[in-house]
Amino acid sequence: MADTATTDSESDLTCAPQPESEITIYVCVTCRGGRPLDLVPVPGEVLATATAQAAEGTGIAVRPIRCLANCNRGLSAAVRRDGAWTYVFGDLDPSSGAIALIEGAKLFANAPDGLMPWRGRPEALKRGLVARTPPFDFAGDS
């Protein structure tokens, strides 16, 4: 389980004004992705900061989260859209993962069926898919 200490970069993310958005990317800031426990900055924080920077001007909200319980496949992030499925991704790279998350979120934002399209999805999000969860009001498959 993740530790509870707050770092400077996490504080910067949580204090930054966040636009109202239909798409939110939650990035695990405690993920280390198998890297040493004393590594600073924490790789998850690096990914969260890079994702927030890549999202500037897109209307996509980026929020830090302390743990997505995907430690075996960290670095991790979840992409959520109101009224649609939520996607959890792992094995993300701290530098290139940010661009992949934003590209995937843009695809997702324009998907009329509430599913992130496979075609056009960045490879990191194809390989890194951990799970998708249904929207709150999902009645089940008929």
Task: Classify residue 91: in a domain, yes or no.
Answer: yes
- pLDDT for 21: 57
- Domain containing 22 equals 9-133
Task: Classify residue 3: in a domain, yes or no.
Answer: no
- pLDDT for 51: 97
User: Which of the 8 DSSP states describes residue 92?
Assistant: -
- pLDDT for 78: 97
Task: Classify residue 58: in a domain, yes or no.
Answer: yes
Task: Classify residue 65: in a domain, yes or no.
Answer: yes
Task: Classify residue 4: in a domain, yes or no.
Answer: no
- pLDDT greater than 50 at residue 19: no
In this structure, the number of other CB atoms found within 10 A of the CB of residue 132 comes to: 15
**Mean pLDDT of all residues in the chain?**
84
Quote the number of domains for the chain: 1
- pLDDT for 3: 41
Taking only Cα atoms into account, the Rg of the chain, rounded to an integer number of angstroms, comes to 15
Structure tokens at 122: 């960045």
Higher pLDDT, 2 or 114: 114
Distance CA 79, CA 88 (A): 7
Distance CA 78, CA 25 (A): 6
Task: Classify residue 49: in a domain, yes or no.
Answer: yes
Q: Please state, for a pLDDT cut of 70, what percent of the chain lies above it.
A: 85
Task: Classify residue 1: in a domain, yes or no.
Answer: no
CATH of the domain at 50: 3.40.30.10
Task: Classify residue 80: in a domain, yes or no.
Answer: yes
In this structure, the number of other CB atoms found within 10 A of the CB of residue 23 comes to: 21
